[in-house]
Chains A and B, each alone.
Chain A
């Protein structure tokens, strides 16, 4: 008798139930906690503030903002590592590198645009609006990721 024949339907169903249970447990662990969502939101606000201030050519608080951004990034990494699981990113390494290479110029472009609009057209509100867009963008990504995990979790529960 082959191994395929030996396995009973009941045993197969139990195995499938066990698989679903473990998949659900794993996904539940990567679900962003309210603390990590808040950390992400604070990071977004800090980056947005930095863009707005640099756009308005106010460099007084730049050092403290950089220190706070680094602290927030370390806090987020520590929080993620403390969960003991890391999410599966379905994008290829190439896509991630290209995305990063696009985000960095976008960051500097935002600052330069703010400075240009402020200096040449005297649009004093421009750096604030650009900074706010950046903050909203980061916040939207956080919420999007959180919703996507919730969706995955609900799918695996069924």
Chain B
């Protein structure tokens, strides 16, 4: 039985980085993802929306010192797809 599955939604470089950043953590703020990926707000929003639409990530809004902040986390579905995708990448690399 193969425990790996290539996921074209996750494989896009920015989306892959978003999932990788969220994977070892519980929640990450929008600002932090933008800083780590070094992309603009609009580009990041587009990728986040894509991941949200397929149910891979969810967002929570909170207010800190009166300022609204958006926090993102991987859903169980997203985490499972990401792990299967990583396994598939490892399999591809080890095949050669």
Closest to A152 in B: B24
Give a binary string over B70-93; 1 marks a CB under 8 Å from any A CB, 0 the rest. Answer: 010000000000000010111011
Whether A85 contacts B96 in the complex (CB less than 8 A), given A3-B6, A15-B11, A22-B20, comes out as: no
Main secondary structure of the interface of A (DSSP, over half): helix
A24 CB to nearest B CB, Å: 9
Contacts of B96 in A (CB 8 A): 9
Contact of B25 among A4, A12, A85 (CB under 8 A): A85
Closest chain B CB from A54 CB (angstroms): 34
Task: Provide the residues of chain B in CB contact with A29, threshold 8 Å.
Answer: 25, 32
Count A-B pairs with CB separation below 8 Å: 85
Question: Which residues of the partner chain A approach B28 to less than 8 Å between Cβ atoms?
Answer: 26, 84-86
Q: Given that A152-B24, A156-B24 are known contacts, is A85 also in contact with B32, CB under 8 Å in the complex?
A: yes
- Whether B8 pairs with A3 at a CB distance below 8 angstroms is yes
Minimum distance in angstroms from A108 CB to a CB of chain B: 31
> B1-55: which residues lie under 8 A (CB-CB) from chain A?
6, 8, 11, 13, 16-17, 20-29, 31-32, 36
- A residues near B22, Cβ cutoff 8 Å: 26
Residue of A7, A9, A15, A83 touching B16 (CB-CB under 8 A): A15
- Total interface residues in chain B, CB < 8 Å: 29
Given contacts A9-B92, A12-B92, contact A88 B25 (CB under 8 A): yes
**Contact status A84-B32, CB under 8 Å:** yes
Contact A88-B26, Cβ < 8 Å, known A3-B8, A25-B36: yes
Which B residues are CB-close (under 8 A) to A16? 86, 89-90, 93
Q: Does B89 contact A26, Cβ atoms closer than 8 Å?
A: no
Question: Interface of B with A (CB < 8 Å)?
Answer: 6, 8, 11, 13, 16-17, 20-29, 31-32, 36, 64, 71, 86, 88-90, 92-93, 95-96
**10 A-B pairs in the complex with CB atoms less than 8 angstroms apart:** A4-B92, A7-B11, A9-B93, A19-B89, A22-B20, A26-B24, A81-B64, A83-B32, A88-B24, A88-B26
Q: Which 5 A-B pairs have the closest CB atoms?
A: A22-B20, A84-B29, A84-B32, A12-B92, A19-B20
